[in-house]
Amino acid sequence: MNRTLLAGLFAASLVAACSKATPDNYERIEAGMTRDEVHAVLGKPESVEGTSIGNLGTSSETWTSGDRVITAHFAGDTLVSKAIKDSGNPEASEDDDSDGRDTSAH
| Confidence category of residue 12, pLDDT binned at 50, 70, 90 | very low
CATH for 20-99 (3.30.1450.10, 3.40.190.10, 3.40.50.720, 2.40.40.20) = 3.30.1450.10
Reported in sequence order, the residue ranges of 54-104 that DSSP labels E, i.e. its strands, are 56-65, 68-75, 78-86, 89-95
Residue 96 above 50 pLDDT?
no
Tens digits of residue pLDDT in 56-91: 899 999 999 999 999 999 999 999 999 999 987 656
The pLDDT confidence band at residue 102, using thresholds 50, 70 and 90, is very low
Measuring CA to CA, which residue among 32, 35, 25, 21 is closest to residue 70? 21
pLDDT digits (tens, 9 = 90+) for 28-47: 999 999 999 999 999 999 99
